[in-house]
Structure 1
C-alpha cells in the first residue's frame, strides 16, 4: 500500500513539522532572542530565520532579499511579505524557516511579550543563539540527511 506522498514530499513535511515543534518547545527563548536582536538593531529590516541545511542554524533575511525573491517567484510570497511588512517585534515573533528552496513563515504572540521574555530569560543574544542552535540540531533533521 502506498501513502501517496513521495519521499521528497515526506522529507519536506518532516522538517516543517519538526520546526513547528521546535518553535513551540522553545517559544519563550525564541521570543527573547528575537527581542535581543531587535535591540541590537532597532531600525534594521531583517527577519530572523532558521536555515535547516546543511544543519539547522539561525540566519537573517534582509527585506531586500525577500522582496527580490518574491519578484523572482511572480509575487507568490505576497501573503508572507504582508506578514513581514506588518511585523511588530514588541508583541510577536516572526521566524522564516528555509530548506530546499522552500520558505515557511512562523508567527506567534508569546505570553509574556518578547521584551519581558528577554528580561525573564536573562541571557545575552550570543548565549541564546548557541543554546537554541544546539537544540535545533537535535530536534530538526535536515532534509538532505533524511
Structure 2
C-alpha cells in the first residue's frame, strides 16, 4: 500500500518519516545514483527500491513483482504502476521504499536534473551505493 505522510507517527511507520528525511537530505546523490543506474540498465531491471530490512540497501523491484503485488492487494497499487510506467528518469527520481510489510513511493524532481547531479557528484555507481547505504544505515532504524 502507498501511505501518505498524514498518518500519526508510530513505531510501525517511523521508518517513513526517517526515509523522507534521508531523501530530502540526499537528493543530489540519490538523483545521481538514479541516473547512473538508468544509464547502466535502463528499466530492464525494474524500479529502484530501498529495502530497509534487515539493513537499508538498494535493490531492484522488477516490474513483474510490482504487478504481482498489485494483484495480491486487489489492484490497490494501480496508481503506482502508472507512475512507474510514465517515469521520466532524465527529469525525476522514482524509488520504492520497502519496510515492515509496507511500501512507500519516493518521487521527486531535483534541481538540477539527474544527469547534471550525476556529473556534479562525480562518483560512479558503486561509490554512490556504498556511501548512500552507509548513510541510510546511520539514519534509518526499524527498531
What's the TM-score, normalizing by structure 2?
A: 0.91
Question: Which structure's CA Rg is the greater one?
Answer: 1
Tell me the residue number matched to 1:49: 49
Show structure 1 runs of 5+ residues with no match: none
| Whole-angstrom CA distance in 2 between matches of 1:43 and 1:24 | 24
Tell me the residue number matched to 1:24: 24
After the TM superposition, which segments of 4 or more aligned residues of structure 1 sit over 4 Å from their partners?
A: none
How far did residue 42 of structure 1 move? 2.2
How far did residue 122 of structure 1 move? 0.8
Show structure 2 runs of 5+ residues with no match: 1-7
Give the match's secondary structure for 1:107.
Answer: strand
- Correspondence 1:81-96 to 2 at 5 A: 81-96=81-96
Q: What's the Cα RMSD here?
A: 1.2
Contact 1:38 1:44 in 2 (8 A): no
Q: Across the two proteins, how many residue pairs are aligned to each other?
A: 136
Contact 2:35 2:118 in 1 (8 A): yes
Give the match's secondary structure for 1:84.
Answer: helix
Tell me the residue number matched to 1:73: 73
Give the match's secondary structure for 1:88.
Answer: coil
Tell me the residue number matched to 2:136: 136
What's the TM-score, normalizing by structure 1?
A: 0.89
Tell me the residue number matched to 1:117: 117
